[in-house]
A and B are shown apart, each in its own frame.
Chain A
């Protein structure tokens, strides 16, 4: 009996000792934090370097990264993990998914940490913060703020057809006119296109981009109303459909099904003369097409549309519900998304923009070609994709709507109205708790 008590006492002392050690910061116990991220290929190596940098200056925390392909409508892995109560400690969430994941109870709100560590909405570019706030709580912090998009044009192609290579199109009318001059055919096939309006990173992203450029809006957060049939959005889709009709959409899509990637990217090899550019492509071009003669500017706008239009995308970091080490996960999140050193590392290593507007990284790239322009775009950015639980559904609906419109199966108005109605239905169900 006495022996048992003795062992029990020893046991308690040991446990208390461990606990005490953690609190007094002289611990030998290292907290292992797993974070699931969406980067494959080259970006994966870069992110691993960011993780290394964090681990180096945080000896008590070791972050392990795992690549999970996060197709926006395919969050299988994360959701089944939460359902099975085996989630990672931190998770990358695509900015527009935050509200949905929060509504489904998959995330932990960050407010208590934000208050404790003095992180507020003023620290971030407005649309970045807006993406992560839902129902009055903050659910994620912006890891990278992608200013979508810059507009680029191939100077060599311009020169070839007699356009002034230093004068990019500034209005939609100019885009149309230049496109007609730049598009080249060989027999029945298209071999160069001026611009493919719906090929700016998918149908849905394209309609978002041009919809805002035309002055439209997609969602009213106050009334929870989906406004896909907004007249300016309809104008944008009508504009896309005009290309589909003039050049035969099946021919254009046959053309684009032959596109390559990396060094065979259609813009880099000159078979697409104008397009919207993502910030990560600046590095891409430097690596795969260093001799590409191109210019970079703002997205053109129609008369009465929005000048210098853009929206913010990018990835955010959140803490899943059921995370085993939320405190340590928060340390990692705060370092990457809010601290000067961390955000600068993200910028320098991955070539992405932090969401933290006062990050020292911005001073280093203010005058860098390409990045400087993207910074200007980010500073004027006013939009982010709708923050509501049916956003993934909305993306799918818009995807389909653009498809049906450009293939002539529905008029732009019908297509957008249908997408809006079905998304509204879905949204109402989700808001009602189903």
Chain B
């Protein structure tokens, strides 16, 4: 009996201590997560122009959204970006990681060259790329011209603006490259040796040993990449002066959301957009996870 009482008093003490230590995040969850999530759901059903209190309007915001051509434009823009930037980023980062894994001399220098761009502050990087991509005087067109390749109009052409941003995004994949590099160094050598003895070429070795072994890492960056791409905002905002032009070709979902909230002061409308984004992200991530069993292997299986 005494032992049980002692145990439960220790339990109570532990619970108290645990809660105490976790109190910052408990407060944070309440104030900055739970309350805002419920409020924004509520606001999404209201008309809420900052200066006046919210007024319930039911589904009117959602109905307006589904009738809003720019809503669809912004969805398309974001989907386009996510569909191209994420895979491209993964491929480039993986290729670079493979190259760096070859243990050539000077690896540290190259690794630095590939990684440093990813820590350049986003705004500074956007400003730099805006100038790089300048169709009249920029370096990229200068290089293309020197190689007698066609020069593009980049951010001045609605058909080229998104591709320009996608190209720009690959400059910053240094972080993913490092993740892959670390993973590559964990691939057991025996697997390579075994497949080499089976007569596999370098290419086959990569596909049948490296990639499956790296699939958890690739999957992780795929999910994170997708979630990040769905929220793409800063570069587009900075490089188009908050407009999303030309002709709304770079008006991404998050940008349009921001405009609605802080430029047009239609906060209820913006909240409705936010919830739609959330649901889309949830659905897509669930889909990715559910199908992951088919192509992700955990723990070096062959």
Q: Which residues of A contact B (CB under 8 A)?
A: 71, 73-74, 76, 79-80, 82-83, 104-106, 188-189, 250-251, 253-258, 393, 399-400, 403-404, 407, 409, 434
- Give complex CA distance A80, B265 in Å: 11
Question: With contacts A189-B136, A403-B245, A404-B247 known, is A254 near B47, CB below 8 A?
Answer: no
Q: Is the CB of B157 within 8 A of A250?
A: yes
Q: Is the CB of B156 within 8 A of A257?
A: yes
Contacts of A258 on B, CB cut-off 8 Å?
134-137
Chain B CB within 10 Å — which of A73, A74, A250 has the most?
A250
Please report the total number of B residues contacting A with Cβ < 8 Å.
26
Contacts of B265 on A, CB cut-off 8 Å?
79
Q: Is the CB of B247 within 8 A of A106?
A: no
- Give complex CA distance A257, B160 in Å: 14
Contacts A253-B153, A403-B246 known; 14 new A-B pairs at CB < 8 A: A71-B242, A73-B264, A74-B242, A104-B49, A254-B154, A254-B156, A257-B135, A257-B136, A257-B155, A258-B134, A258-B135, A400-B248, A403-B245, A434-B47
Q: Is the CB of B135 within 8 A of A254?
A: yes
Q: Is the CB of A250 within 8 A of B153?
A: yes
Q: Is the CB of B134 within 8 A of A257?
A: yes
Contacts of A189 on B, CB cut-off 8 Å?
135-136
Q: Is the CB of B134 within 8 A of A188?
A: no
Q: Is the CB of B153 within 8 A of A393?
A: no
Question: With contacts A74-B242, A404-B247, A407-B247 known, is A254 near B153, CB below 8 A?
Answer: yes
Q: Which of B178-237 contact A (CB under 8 A)?
A: none
Question: With contacts A82-B51, A258-B135 known, is A76 near B262, CB below 8 A?
Answer: yes
Q: Is the CB of A409 within 8 A of B247?
A: yes
Q: Is the CB of B157 within 8 A of A254?
A: yes
Question: With contacts A393-B264, A400-B248, A409-B247 known, is A79 near B51, CB below 8 A?
Answer: yes
- Give complex CA distance A64, B208 in Å: 71
- Give complex CA distance A79, B52 in Å: 11
Tell me the minimal C-beta distance from B168 to chain A in angstroms. 16
Q: Which of A105, A250, A400 contacts B156 (CB 8 A)?
A: A250
- Give complex CA distance A122, B175 in Å: 67
Q: Which of B146-187 contact A (CB under 8 A)?
A: 151, 153-158
- Give complex CA distance A71, B154 in Å: 26
Tell me the minimal C-beta distance from B30 to chain A in angstroms. 23
Q: Which secondary structure dominates chain B's binding surface?
A: loop
Question: With contacts A74-B263, A76-B262, A407-B246 known, is A106 near B157, CB below 8 A?
Answer: no
Q: Which residues of B contact A (CB under 8 A)?
A: 47, 49-51, 55, 134-137, 151, 153-158, 242-243, 245-248, 262-265
Of all chain B residues, which has the CB nearest A190? B136
- Give complex CA distance A258, B154 in Å: 12
Q: Is the CB of A254 within 8 A of B51?
A: no
Of all chain A residues, which has the CB nearest B245? A403
Q: Is the CB of B51 within 8 A of A106?
A: yes
18 sample A-B contacts, Cβ–Cβ < 8 Å, listed by A number: A71-B242, A76-B262, A80-B50, A83-B50, A104-B49, A104-B51, A188-B151, A250-B153, A251-B153, A253-B156, A254-B156, A256-B156, A257-B134, A393-B264, A399-B243, A403-B246, A407-B246, A409-B247
- Give complex CA distance A393, B137 in Å: 34
- Give complex CA distance A188, B135 in Å: 11
The 8 closest A-B pairs by CB, nearest first: A258-B136, A254-B135, A253-B156, A254-B153, A250-B157, A254-B156, A250-B153, A403-B247
Contacts of A80 on B, CB cut-off 8 Å?
50
Q: Is the CB of B51 within 8 A of A407?
A: no
Contacts of B264 on A, CB cut-off 8 Å?
73, 393
Of all chain A residues, which has the CB nearest B150? A188
- Give complex CA distance A409, B158 in Å: 11
- Give complex CA distance A256, B157 in Å: 12
- Give complex CA distance A79, B265 in Å: 10
Contacts of A251 on B, CB cut-off 8 Å?
153
Q: Is the CB of B158 within 8 A of A407?
A: yes
Contacts of A79 on B, CB cut-off 8 Å?
50-51, 265
- Give complex CA distance A74, B263 in Å: 5
- Give complex CA distance A106, B154 in Å: 41
Contacts of B151 on A, CB cut-off 8 Å?
188
Contacts of A106 on B, CB cut-off 8 Å?
51
Q: Is the CB of A253 within 8 A of B247?
A: no
Tell me the minimal C-beta distance from B293 to chain A in angstroms. 44
- Give complex CA distance A141, B51 in Å: 24
Contacts of B50 on A, CB cut-off 8 Å?
79-80, 83
Q: Is the CB of B136 within 8 A of A105?
A: no
Contacts of A399 on B, CB cut-off 8 Å?
243
- Give complex CA distance A350, B137 in Å: 34
Q: Is the CB of A253 within 8 A of B246?
A: yes
- Give complex CA distance A224, B247 in Å: 28
Of all chain B residues, which has the CB nearest A73? B263
Tell me the minimal C-beta distance from A246 to chain B in angstroms. 17
Of all chain B residues, which has the CB nearest A425? B64
